Every structure is written in structure tokens, then in C-alpha cells.
Amino acid sequence: MVFFVLAFGILIYLSYKKDTGNHNRYYKGAGKKVLIYGGLIIAIFTAIRLIFGN
């Protein structure tokens, strides 16, 4: 199990390092969108839970 996690992590790192140029080009500003939409969804879910109870 430890070998699998370690190998998977190394492969992800190598893949990301190889594809950094495309990543910066295609996903520019994606972190902000995820933060905004994710926060909005969590706020709506919390409001619904508070309004309608358990």
C-alpha cells in the first residue's frame, strides 16, 4: 500500500512537471472560480440546512 501511494505521488509530480506550460495556459484563474463557486455552494447548502432544520 505504501509503495502504491509513493509511486502514485511520484507519477503525479512528474506528470504535472512535464505539463506545466499547458496547465498554466488552460487553467489560468481556475483556482479563483473553484473558490467562488465552491464557497457559494457551501453557503447555499448551509442556509438550506439552517432554514429547514435537520
Give me the number of domains the chain comprises. Answer: 1
Task: Determine if the pTM surpasses 0.75.
Answer: no
Tell me the per-residue pLDDT of 3-44, one tens digit each, with 9 for 90 and over.
888 999 899 888 888 877 777 777 777 888 888 999 999 999
Identify the domain containing residue 27 by its residue range: 1-53
DSSP 1-54: -HHHHHHHHHHHHHHHHHTHHHHHHHSTTHHHHHHHHHHHHHHHHHHHHHHH--
Residue with the three cell numbers 457551501: 42
pLDDT at 54: 64
